[in-house]
Amino acid sequence: MPQHYPPLVIITHLLNILFMVLLGRSGLEVLAAHPKLYWSDHCPPGRQWLRLSRKEFGSDSRRPWTSQDEEESWNPVLALPGRKNLGLGRHWHFLTLQFWIATGVVYIAFAVASGYWRYLVPTSWSVFPQAVRDVGTYLTFRFPAQLPGEPFNAAQKLAYFAVVFLLAPLQIATGAAMSPAVIGRFPWYAKLFGGKQGARSLHFLGLVAFAAFTVLHTAMVILHGLPEGLAKILLGSAEADHALAVGIGLLALALIIIVQVLATVASLRSPRTAERLTGAIAGPMQRGLSRLLPSCQRYRRSDISPYHRVNGYPPTGEEYERAARRGSAGYRLVVGGLVEQPAAFSLDELRALGTQHQIVNHNCIQGWNAIAAWAGVPVARLLDVVRPLPQARYAVFYAMDDKGLTDGREGRYGYYYEAVALHLLRHDQSLLAMDMNGGPLPVEHGAPLRLRVENQLGFKMVKWVRGIELVERVDHIGRGRGGFREDQQYYANPVGI
Ligand SMILES: Nc1nc2c(c(=O)[nH]1)N[C@H]1C(S)=C(S)[C@@H](COP(=O)(O)O)O[C@H]1N2
Ligand SMILES: [Mo]
């Protein structure tokens, strides 16, 4: 039988606490961006099963609202980094996720190799009735006996088994079921959890279960006698120096808290630097998923959501009003930059390139989704006409909404734009849409023309497109991060998760 508390188990346990706290706090930041949970993939406004916000918006609301108005600002003690920083919260979440999984893999590999797994995995049915009796014993304020030759009693063994082998994998599985690239490529996968919103709800309940386990587990360790416990775990014997053991324990706790404070303060004070550092580690995963998993969604007409949220207020201002008065007949899509054949297209000319129809799931970065039918011209057809030069790597989609006018109170400014890698635009379901749900594209959803890239998050799908520029690099455009939301909200580009 292996040693009861091998050093590797202790080290991975401490790292696990650190990463779980980072994951939990950054997860709350993500939740704050849309603090509502549903069981239905239509996210019907007002029909959530949980709302962690006082603000109420209904589908019949009389004043115009967009999904960004639903976002909440949560306290930086609770959320990482707090104060409406969805972009950075996501970077922290995906960065930590990789370290957390790596720690888990090391732990499991060690448990299997050393035989330690026998302490965690019930190998006989008798553990179950014994665990029930153990809980009864706990309820009479006594401690149940350990299993013979093992460090835990039956109730502990089952609880630890459930956390390591059920709860942790469930969190990973439901997390993946929220990725637009994963569910764009494998729509059946989200359905395993009752859709993306089912996965999102379960992911939140998983967090609650982790938190409940942590509170109970810590309370038990303290009740069992913290100094002896720590001496046994950290120094190998209950008789070892208690003061030393408690000292080491406090040091570990202090380190965990210091990391939280540093991560939070750095993110709030120097968001651009924090974005560059965390994004460097979280980015490859986003890029890989975006590249490898093109969307092939085929929902049915009956799947179309009765209500499709809007994000981004429609353009205002003189220039737009003048254009709107001319109507779609006067509209020209200008395509230029690194192309052999710069051109301007009317909507009819675009239609003449050949249209395509798709019923797909729209995933907003904030957390809501909705299913709609879109029709328009595949971007690949347009690229075939203008013929990008070999050095062109991105297409930049420029929009007509000046955020200083439409979203100014959030401190945002400049025209909306997004750069999308050319290889993503060549995917089958990358579309310049002119129709939605069988009718002309409504103004709030991007009339006369909006982009659809179905394995990405919603913010890449520029509405009210007025021009496209092909470029090799994006660092000279806006603040140089590849899009309005990347520049001003620290989102990632591309976004496969
Ligand atoms: N021009 C422009 N395009 C935009 C936005 C915007 O604010 N301006 N918001 C984006 C975001 S964050 C999302 S989720 C989708 C929302 O599309 P919808 O309003 O049709 O639901 O549009 C994207 N395209
Ligand atoms: Mo969004």
Are both 213 and 97 inside the same structural domain? Answer: yes
Banded model confidence at residue 238, pLDDT cuts 50, 70, 90: confident
* pLDDT for 163 beyond 60: yes
Residues 6+ apart with CB under 8 A from 420: 394, 395, 397, 430, 451, 453, 456, 460, 494
**Residue 85 falls inside a structural domain:** yes
What's the burial of 124, exposed, middle or buried (CB within 10 Å: 0-12/13-18/19+)?
exposed
Are both 175 and 235 inside the same structural domain? Answer: yes
Are both 259 and 222 inside the same structural domain? Answer: yes
Q: Which residues form the domain of 455?
A: 297-489
**Last residue of a domain, which of 264, 288, 312?**
288
**Per-residue pLDDT, 236:** 80
Are both 341 and 458 inside the same structural domain? Answer: yes
Q: Is the CB of 203 inside a 6 Å radius of any atom of ligand 1?
A: no
Q: Is the CB of 491 inside a 6 Å radius of any atom of ligand 1?
A: no
SS3 471: strand
Overall average pLDDT of the 447-456 stretch: 97
**Residue 157 falls inside a structural domain:** yes
Q: Which atom from ligand 1 is nearest to the alpha carbon of 436?
A: 20
DSSP 116: G
**Per-residue pLDDT, 158:** 97
C-alpha–C-alpha distance, residues 102 and 11, integer Å: 13
CATH number, domain of 423, equals 3.90.420.10
Banded model confidence at residue 304, pLDDT cuts 50, 70, 90: very high
**Residue 155 falls inside a structural domain:** yes
Are both 190 and 308 inside the same structural domain? Answer: no
Are both 135 and 24 inside the same structural domain? Answer: yes
Domain count, the chain: 2
Residue 442 contacts residue 497 (beta carbons within 8 Å): no
Banded model confidence at residue 441, pLDDT cuts 50, 70, 90: very high
**Residue 241 falls inside a structural domain:** yes
* pLDDT for 1 beyond 60: no
Overall average pLDDT of the 29-47 stretch: 96
* pLDDT for 59 beyond 90: no
Query: How many Å lie between the centroid of ligand 1 and the Cα of residue 406?
Result: 12
Are both 344 and 374 inside the same structural domain? Answer: yes
**Residue 56 falls inside a structural domain:** no
**Last residue of a domain, which of 255, 288, 321?**
288
Residues 6+ apart with CB under 8 A from 4: 119, 151, 232
Q: Is the CB of 417 inside a 6 Å radius of any atom of ligand 1?
A: no
Tell me the pLDDT tens digit for each residue of 337-392: 999 999 999 999 999 999 999 999 999 999 999 999 999 999 999 999 999 999 99
**Per-residue pLDDT, 4:** 77
**Per-residue pLDDT, 62:** 59
**Per-residue pLDDT, 61:** 66
Banded model confidence at residue 237, pLDDT cuts 50, 70, 90: confident
**Per-residue pLDDT, 408:** 74
Are both 261 and 307 inside the same structural domain? Answer: no
* pLDDT for 31 beyond 60: yes
Q: Is the CB of 461 inside a 6 Å radius of any atom of ligand 1?
A: yes
Higher pLDDT, 322 or 352: 352
**Last residue of a domain, which of 288, 320, 350?**
288
Residue 463 contacts residue 382 (beta carbons within 8 Å): no
